[in-house]
Amino acid sequence: MSKKIISEIRRDHIFNLLKEGKRSDGRKLDDFREIKFETGIIESADGSAVVEMGKTKVTAGVKIIPGTPFGDTPNLGVLTTGAELIPLAHPDFESGPPSPESIELARVVDRGIRESGMVDMSKLCIKEGEEVWMCFLDLYAINYDGNLFDAFNLASVLALKTAIIPNEQYGKGEDVPLPITCLPISVTSAKLGSSLILDPNFDEENISSARLTVTTDDDGNFRAMQKGGQGSITLDELSHCLDMAVAKGEEIRKLIG
Amino acid sequence: MSGTTDMILVNKDGKRIDGRTPDEHRDIKIEAGVLANADGSAYVEIGKNKVLAAVYGPRECHPRHLQDPTKAIIQCKYNMQTYSVSDRKRPGTDRRSVEISKITAEALEKVVLTELYPRASIDVYIEILQANAGTRCAGLTAASVALADAGIPMRDIVPAIAAGKADGYVLLDLNKEEDNFGQADVPMAIVPSTNEIVLLQMDGNMTREEFDKAIEMGVRGCHDVYKLQKEALLNRYSDGGDSDE
């Protein structure tokens, strides 16, 4: 995601509308685009989901494989998250080693899931110190029109929520659902001028000066945050972002229930 | 954040294992102009963290496709040396350091007058010599002093510090034990003249009330760090010292 170019006339149009509290696609500042999702789309994965937010479309897949635990957590399963911004999804995406942008995306999504304790890692131990279940969560952008943070987060949560531990495949008894404790939902605010908006589309995202991703748990407590972009956010803006993240997070959690 | 321990991190009197009160930062030492070859440099110690930062530039931007015809770009490389942690760290770039480099450069963009140097690159190198929780904040604190030491025009200096939570207490500037066995970590950096936030991360578990308190504590902590950053720059250019300018 190197510097994307947005025409000046389009940029001015978006900023002028924002001054009246409007957005170019008719949404209110704190509206998400219509969210569509489907789980279990890939049979070869142990859990999968596709999420659309307007024209942004992403997929998530989980592969669950027995492996060796880390030395300092001998009785805990392992979660690894990767995100790929493949050239199929946007003309500016290039193949090759992961960009800083894709690494940041994967790490922020991972942080929300990990810190919320969404997957009960203690139940993924097969034999302490020797064998645990390792969850490989991989995210792919299919069509990029902004807000990959929240789209990836939602797809991850849906894929994990519907994932199955493949006991049968490895001769370990019957398949069971992955143990899930809560649904961490991230809500990303983008700052354009002095306006804060949710679920920015491509144009909005690329003329924004800063963004803040806030991940909340079922109780509305904060589990992960990440500020990005070259601009700053004031303390008042921070407070507004937190309010919106709690309110919208609850709404989205209900939607995917 | 994920570990568990029987260790009492904050005792009944509100004292932490290193004797600090909840809103007290560790001892901080900042020195500007420590490297002969760099255009600007700084050495920072925060508790047991030891961090070097060097700035080269503004200079020609490589790779050239990254050049911006309207302004300079800031390229940051955060690197942990192999012996900086208890296990040997594998040398080279990992995903964590890529993320820290990215958010550090973004935090500095806000204050550096990059528009004065179109097509140029300002390269910031942060080396962690010894790590003890809070290296990204120590690195950014050092980097902003190094940028000022390099004489690069800036709107302000960026101080950084972490707040967090351990044993249910909101704490400033977590040490290693508090970071490993605590419940939350909130690294942050501000522009002191306006209190705008230029770096903010959070992981763990915090209520709104706890988070608000952490931010308040962090902002105050940043202002303490800011004072020391300015002192370091004044020392560098007032006592004659080894200045080669």
State whether residue B86 sits within 8 Å of chain A by CB.
Answer: no
| pLDDT 10s digits, A198-253 | 999 999 999 999 999 999 999 999 999 999 999 999 999 999 999 999 999 999 99
CA neighbor of A33 nearest in space, from A11, A66, A64, A55: A55
Q: Tell me: pLDDT of A150 over 70.
A: yes
| pLDDT 10s digits, A117-144 | 999 999 999 999 999 999 999 999 999 9
DSSP B134-201: -HHHHHHHHHHHHHHHTT--BS----EEEEEEETTEEEES--HHHHHHSSEEEEEEEETTTTEEEEEE
Closest residue on chain A to B201 (Cα)? A226
Q: In which residue ranges of chain B is pLDDT below 50?
A: 243, 245
Closest CB from A72, A103, A116 relative to B99: A103
Closest CB from A3, A115, A230 relative to B110: A230
Q: Tell me phi and psi for residue B26, to 5 degrees.
A: -70, 170
* Gap from B238 CA to chain A (nearest CA, Å): 32
pLDDT of residue A6: 87
Identify whether B220 is part of a domain: yes
The parent domain of residue B120 ranges over 28-236
Identify whether B98 is part of a domain: yes
Q: Which CATH code for domain A8-256?
A: 3.30.230.70
Identify whether B23 is part of a domain: no
Closest residue on chain A to B108 (Cα)? A230
State whether residue A233 sits within 8 Å of chain B by CB.
Answer: yes
Q: If you ran DSSP here, which 8-state letter would residue B115 be given?
A: G
Q: Is residue A42 within 8 Å of residue A138, measured between CB atoms?
A: no
Give the bridge partners for A52, in sequence order. Answer: A36, A57
Is A228 close to B106, i.e. CB distance below 8 A?
A: yes
CATH of the domain at B189: 3.30.230.70
DSSP B53-88: EEEEEEEE-SSGGG-BTTB-EEEEEEEE-TTSSSSP
Is A229 close to B106, i.e. CB distance below 8 A?
A: yes
- The mean of the pLDDT values for chain A is 96
pLDDT of residue A193: 95
Band of residue A1 on the pLDDT scale cut at 50, 70, 90: very low
Please state the domain extents for chain A. 8-256
Amino acid, single-letter form, for residue A128 = E
Band of residue A89 on the pLDDT scale cut at 50, 70, 90: very high
Contacts of A12 by beta carbon, 8 Å cutoff, 6+ apart: none
Band of residue A155 on the pLDDT scale cut at 50, 70, 90: very high
pLDDT of residue A2: 47
Is A223 close to B204, i.e. CB distance below 8 A?
A: yes
Is A221 close to B98, i.e. CB distance below 8 A?
A: no
Identify whether B6 is part of a domain: no
pLDDT of residue B55: 98
Identify whether B17 is part of a domain: no
pLDDT of residue A47: 98
Q: Is the ipTM of this complex over 0.90?
A: yes
Given the DSSP bridges, would you call strands A195-198 and A185-192 parallel, antiparallel or unpaired? antiparallel
Domain count, chain B: 1
Band of residue A69 on the pLDDT scale cut at 50, 70, 90: very high
Closest residue on chain A to B103 (Cα)? A228
Q: Tell me: pLDDT of A3 over 70.
A: no
pLDDT of residue B240: 56
Q: How far apart are CA B38 and CA B49, in angstroms?
A: 22
Is B203 close to A223, i.e. CB distance below 8 A?
A: yes
